[in-house]
Structure 1
Amino acid sequence: MIPKVHLPESRTMITLEVRRRVFLTPGFASVTLGGPAVRDLTVAGGDQAVRLFFPREGQTALRMPTVSNDAWIAQLLLLPKSVRPWVRNLTIRRARPADDEIDIEFALHGGSDSPMSSWARRAEPGDPAGIFDIGTTYRLPEHAEGQLLVGDETALPAILSILDGTPPSLATEVYLEVATAADIRSVEPPAGARIHWFARDDEELRPGTLALDAVRRASLPPGRFYTWVAGESRLATSVRRHLVNDRGVRRQDISFVGYWRLGRSIPG
């Protein structure tokens, strides 16, 4: 059975600062965080996830938890909101240890004024931010003859990072859904990979609908293949259910992650 989350043997709270922020498309921004403490992070996979801590609007400093275990949650919630930072789960798009830098890409969700989107839009060099390793879920088995990668816009950074490490000999089908056609990127995938893009361009359409429908109609990779699917919770569970019930795929060959759930806000 593929483990749901693989955690490192040791991890620590890491405080960094913004070095750059660029807008990649109307719906995506990339924020580069840097500092010597980057060396305390071991990137273990293409979907390397971290907790990102960032100040609330109006806060001039970042108050990070002081414990590097799961007790950080209780410690954070005991802080008054005047000093408590926001915290969100995100994927590292690229890591450059030699430069003491990591890139994190943000899906800005259109005109959303969510705390995370607002921070990513206004982030400037020198602004503080922190990260805490929360592990990886992508585990390509040795027996895999191909792979299937599926996600909505929140999984796009992880999928592109996974593709960066995919050997050209591995047959790979990718189904990526984004909010608008303007968010479709020009990506040069490995020789054995094909990317199928889908743009909702409709605020009433549930995220993940187009990617799920495409997988249901798709010709899947030949032989025994590995699937990694992430994004809105229903997309992740529905793709897994379809593959297992309708395509006869072994459960142990699928990793699925619900990054978020439509209609449910993140506490904090």
Structure 2
Amino acid sequence: MLLRVHVAAVEPLARRTRRIVLAGEPLTGLAWTPGQNVTVFLADPTSLASWRHGPRDLKRSYSVWNYDPAGRLELAVYDHGGESPGASWSRTVQAGDGVIVTKPDGRLVARPGASLHLFAGDDTAAVPLGAILRSLPETARCFAVFECNEPADEIPLPGASTPTWVHRHGASAASSALLPAAVAGLDLPAEPGVAYVAGEARTVQAVRDHLVNDRGWPRRDVLTQPFWTPGKRGLD
């Protein structure tokens, strides 16, 4: 189902992340679990002219930062740079613009009953993983490591655990060795828990391989979600 809503506010959340607040009656009473995303249509999908560049340029998936059942849904959109359709939309969208979105969906959500929660991701992953982290009770046992370029790129992540941030200082975010090394340096309990790993595809794979091969975590307990990778249309 497509929901026609409007942009209520746009403001910076960090140096390269914008908080985009959507509002409208179609957003009332939706089912949302922290960690889920919505699809944002960058042009009207009911118009044939919108499809001339292909479906991958027509839409992007963005994680939900927060949701109010009264009819407000917040996105936190990271700007990768460049002139991709998603980046251009996030830079130019403003209050009053109309937007078409889908209902929240996705399986990157907290696993009930986990004895330990481990979060690891880059700038793009901090949004859904931060939403999950914020939703956990204060008694939850959590470890969280996030990677970004500089301290000014950190987004606020209140929740059950204070996350550790590591900084690239200009190094590439693709195939980053920084995040896997930070996870490897954690003093984790011997008993595995559930890991939520998201961000750049090859970095996600490296973190998963460390947890499974080096620490002996069951693969089924390492939940992964690649959000982007260089040069792949639709993942930018």
| More off after superposition, 229-238 vs 125-134 | 125-134
Q: Which runs of 5 or more structure 1 residues have no equivalent in the other structure?
A: 1-11, 56-62, 66-74
1:145 alignment partner, SS class: coil
Deviation at 1:42, TM superposition (A): 1.5
User: Is the CA contact (8 Å cut-off) linking 2:174 and 2:203 kept in structure 1?
Assistant: no
CA–CA distance in 1 between the matches of 2:175 and 2:29? 35
After TM superposition, where is structure 1 displaced by more than 6 Å over at least 4 residues in a row? 75-78
CA–CA distance in 1 between the matches of 2:177 and 2:14? 22
CA–CA distance in 2 between the matches of 1:37 and 1:169? 35
Structure 2 partner of 1:3: none
Deviation at 1:185, TM superposition (A): 3.8
CA–CA distance in 2 between the matches of 1:101 and 1:205? 32
Structure 1 partner of 2:27: 38
2:162 alignment partner, SS class: strand
Identity among equivalent pairs (%): 26
Structure 1 partner of 2:134: 164
Structure 1 partner of 2:9: 20
Deviation at 1:159, TM superposition (A): 1.4
Q: Deviations over 1:221-251 (max 9, x none)?
A: 4533110101111122221111111111111
CA–CA distance in 1 between the matches of 2:195 and 2:4? 34
Structure 1 partner of 2:63: 91
CA–CA distance in 1 between the matches of 2:49 and 2:38? 18
Structure 2 partner of 1:151: 121
Residue 223 of structure 2 aligns with an amino acid whose one-letter code is: S
CA–CA distance in 2 between the matches of 1:31 and 1:19? 8
Change (3 A) 1:76 1:89: farther
Counterparts of residues 51-130 of structure 1 (less than 5 Å): 51-55=39-43, 63-65=44-46, 79-81=51-53, 86-98=58-70, 100-109=71-80, 111-130=81-100
Larger Rg: 1
Change (3 A) 1:76 1:223: farther
Q: Deviations over 1:36-59 (max 9, x none)?
A: 00126311x21111111123xxxx
Instruction: Give the alignment's Cα RMSD to 1 decimal.
Output: 2.6
Give the alignment's TM-score, normalised by structure 2: 0.88
User: Is the CA contact (8 Å cut-off) linking 1:64 and 1:85 kept in structure 2?
Assistant: no
Q: Which runs of 5 or more structure 2 residues have no equivalent in the other structure?
A: none
CA–CA distance in 2 between the matches of 1:28 and 1:203? 18
User: Is the CA contact (8 Å cut-off) linking 1:25 and 1:182 kept in structure 2?
Assistant: yes
Structure 1 partner of 2:229: 261
Counterparts of residues 125-204 of structure 1 (less than 5 Å): 125-133=95-103, 134-142=105-113, 144-190=114-160, 193-204=161-172
Give the alignment's TM-score, normalised by structure 1: 0.79
Deviation at 1:118, TM superposition (A): 2.1
Residue 35 of structure 1 aligns with an amino acid whose one-letter code is: G
2:196 alignment partner, SS class: strand
